[in-house]
Amino acid sequence: MTKHWKPFAIGAIAMLVLLAGFYMFFMASQKNPINQSAAPQITDIATLPDTVTITPLPTLRLIRGNEVPFEGKVELRQAIAGRFAQNVAVVNFQATGEHADKSVLKIVWENGEVDKILPGTQNKVFSPDKRAVEISISGYSVHERRLFKDSSRSGTLTWEIRYEPVEG
């Protein structure tokens, strides 16, 4: 192998020189100036009669949990961006486990009202003038017994809530 290093080195250098030549050729062909007379003239957009004004939409936030595992009873309080949440929409709320129908998604409104949403709810939209102070998810998966202590079972929670954050 020690005899064959010279032809290999010469071939590698020749290849680098060849590639550098092609690169220089293509870069020189890219630098041709664009014909300025063919470029369209841009006028002041504000003076056009059919100008469209774009109003940005309010920022929507998501509170999401996808198949969050738990055992027994659990309450998961969700963080809200801003002080309140407005235009609240529950896109999806599902719960699995033993007696999962006792799980609940709870929304506390600014005026003190409490809405409880049961599992299986989809696309529930609340009034836009209501502002939520707290959103929490309570999971329940327990094997209930009359004489003996109830035993915890595993379950999962899935939720997606959309809202618009409000500061004041």
Residue range 113-135, pLDDT digits in tens: 999 999 999 999 999 889 999 99
pTM for the full predicted model: 0.63
Same domain (yes/no): 74, 96: yes
For residues 34 and 73, membership in a common domain is answered with no
| Average pLDDT estimate for 129-145 | 92
Above 60 in pLDDT, residue 39?
no
Question: What is residue 2's predicted lDDT score, i.e. its pLDDT?
Answer: 66
For residues 41 and 82, state if they share a domain. no
CB 63 within 8 A of CB 134: no
Query: Three-state DSSP class for 155?
Result: strand
In this model, does residue 142 exceed pLDDT 70?
yes
Average pLDDT over residues 74-84: 91
Residue 78: inside a domain? yes
In a domain, 52, yes or no: no
- Residue 45 has φ and ψ, to the nearest 5°, of -65, -30
Enclosing domain of residue 76? 61-166
Tell me, yes or no, whether 16 and 98 share the same domain.
Answer: no
Tokens found for residue 95: 């719960």
Return the amino acid letter for 23. Answer: Y
Assigned domain for 22 exists: yes
